[in-house]
Amino acid sequence: MTVIVRIAPSPTGKLHVGNIRTSLVNWLFARKAGGKFVLRLDDTDTERSTEEFARGIETDITWLGLTYDFFAKQSDRSAVYEAVAERLKATGRLYPCYETADELDRRRKRQLAAHKPPIYDRAALSLTAAERAEFEASGRKPHWRFRLDGRQVEWSDLTRGPVHIDTTSLSDPVLVREDGRFLYTLPSIVDDIDFGITHIIRGEDHVTNTGVQIEIFEALGATLPTFAHLALLVGVGGEGLSKRTGALSIDELRRDGIEPMAINSLLAKIGTSDPVVPRAILDELIADFEMSHIGRAPAHFDPAELRALNHKLLHATSYEKVAARLIELGVPGGVAFWDAVRDNIVVLSDARIWWDVVAGKIEPVIEDAAFTAEARSLLPAGPFNEETWHEWSAAVSKKAGVKGKALYMPLRLALTGQPHGPEMRKLLPLIGPERAARRLSGQAA
């Protein structure tokens, strides 16, 4: 059996770390099994779906490197869903209901007041043909509900183990609205059947839906896929990650300079007890991906961990891999520059700060002008190399009688304007003799 999985985001918002984690797990699962990965846009909600969100989803998935073998969007497939709905109507599994939202609401309130569960009472099932005709004549259009069997639906979930959902405790779900538009449920099942989806891996917020969906799969005579419901991501303090905040959207992380492989490296391991290590390519993540390592407990997502991982990833990145992007950032420093700064940046654009330090104009910080003037007089003639700092600071130490921090900090402050940063032995050759001399004299240079 060829594994075929899908992700099915709705283009009603941006992808966030939660649905990227689901996407990545699906992708790794497919690639590990030599299977296929489908990107499907669930855009039946025509009021909230937009082209811009749809494009954003494709951009994000592609940027992360999650190549897809097949793309589909539900808005192209209405005729297929219509045909399946007709089949269900013909067998009486899909039945017309004429209640207005207000009527349903009043009914629910009455049930609650009588301490009954607020389940749809199936009044529409006992309407006579004449009553239905009367509703139609009065201008009401039906919405359509699926008649549940009402039973224990059971499946063996890849992450949760055996799961039971009692569908007697659920209202018959509305599959088609009164304006004829489909809600998510039926198109999703029809697509999963038509595309031969073998595994549905999604968030645990869909567990109850799965009970309903299994009944519909069976009503359509389809083979059931295997289900896996992943525990949701929560924040460091256990709070839910709201997809509406946008704060953790992939788009935003990209604009903040987070590398796609930092996101992938973290999200592939979150919720497992495997170590999180920065990986440069997805193949490495495929190699050590194990679905069975994903636990049932909510996984904690920490943006600080992502930044730390980004730092480690950049530190391990060779100059050739970032050269073109550095040029784009206006940082023409070559391999020596990259080697000097790559341990001191969290995101690539931080390189710009250090480029300004070595090649731009900074305000030197001079605490003791006599000391820095003395240091200046001891500066060797150029060109500087990686030994220069050691030799020169030893000479300054000898002459001024200071060492340790009292020696290095004033020199660093004068030469870079900052108390911390890359190793001075690497920065000094990049700063060069003229600029160093001017800075030691307190001139902005």
In this structure, what token pair is assigned to residue 129? 């043909």
Nearer to ligand GLU, 183 or 347 (CB): 183
The one segment of 7-15, 127-135, 214-222, 311-319 that binds ligand GLU by CB under 6 A = 7-15
Q: How far is the CB of 171 from ligand GLU (least distance, A)?
A: 19
Which among 10, 15, 183 has a CA at the least distance from the CA of 85?
183
Question: Residues 9, 278, 364, 429: which binds ligand GLU (CB under 6 A)?
Answer: 9
Closest contact distance (angstroms) between CB of 254 and ligand GLU is 21
Phi, psi (5° rounding) for residue 437?
-65, -45
Among 4, 5, 8, 85, binds ligand GLU (CB under 6 A): 8
Say if CB 182 and CB 145 are below 8 A apart: no
Among 202, 229, 279, 435, binds ligand GLU (CB under 6 A): 202
Residue written as tokens 């968030």? 203
User: Strand 161-166 relative to strand 152-157: parallel, antiparallel, unpaired?
Assistant: antiparallel
- Part in contact with ligand GLU (CB under 6 A); list of ranges 2-10, 142-150, 151-159, 302-310: 2-10
Q: Is 147 in the site for ligand GLU (CB under 6 A)?
A: no
The least distance separating ligand GLU from the CB of residue 325, rounded to whole angstroms, comes to: 32
Distance CA 98, CA 114 (A): 24
CB of 295 vs ligand GLU, minimal distance in Å = 20
Supply the minimum distance, in Å, between the C-beta of residue 59 and ligand GLU.
18
Compare residues 10 and 393 and give the one whose CB is closer to ligand GLU: 10
DSSP notation for 308-329:
HHHHHHHHT--HHHHHHHHHHT
- How many residues appear in the chain? 445
- Reference 86, options 196, 169, 190; nearest CA is 190
Give the nearest distance from C-beta 416 to ligand GLU in angstroms.
49
Distance CA 445, CA 429 (A): 15
Helix (H) or strand (E) holding 164: strand 161-166
Hey, what amino acid is at 420? H
Rule CB under 6 A: is residue 199 a binding residue for ligand GLU? no
Identity of the amino acid at 177: R
List 300's β-bridge partners, or say none. 234
Cβ at position 192, least distance to ligand GLU in Å: 8
Does residue 10 touch ligand GLU according to CB under 6 A?
yes
Query: Which residues ranging from 165 to 194 are in contact with ligand GLU (CB under 6 A)?
Result: 184, 188
Query: By rule CB under 6 A, what string of x and - marks binding of each residue 406-445 to ligand GLU?
Result: ----------------------------------------
Nearer to ligand GLU, 271 or 417 (CB): 271
Q: Which is nearer to ligand GLU, 43 or 99 (CB)?
A: 43
CB of 189 to ligand GLU, least distance (A): 9
Distance of CA 223 to the CA centre of its chain: 31
Give the whole-angstrom CA distance, residue 256 versus residue 44.
32
Shortest distance in whole angstroms from residue 206 CB to ligand GLU = 6
- Residue 232 or 280 having the CB closest to ligand GLU: 232
Q: How many CA atoms lie within 13 A of 370 on its CB side?
A: 2
CB-nearer residue toward ligand GLU: 16 or 269: 16
Tell me the two tokens of residue 278: 């920065």
Interacting span for ligand GLU (CB under 6 A) from 3-11, 102-110, 127-135, 264-272? 3-11
Sign of CA dihedral 307, 313, 315, 318: negative
Beta bridge partners of 154: 164
Residue 30: Cβ within 10 Å count: 25
Report the C-alpha gap between 82 and 74 in whole angstroms.
12
Per-residue buried b or exposed e for 247-262, using 16+ beta carbons within 10 Å of the residue's own CB: ebbbeebbeebbbbbb
| Minimum CB distance to ligand GLU smaller for 53 or for 120 | 53
Number of residues that bind ligand GLU (CB under 6 A): 8
For residues 30-89, which are near ligand GLU according to CB under 6 A?
42
Binding site for ligand GLU (CB under 6 A): 8-10, 42, 184, 188, 202, 206
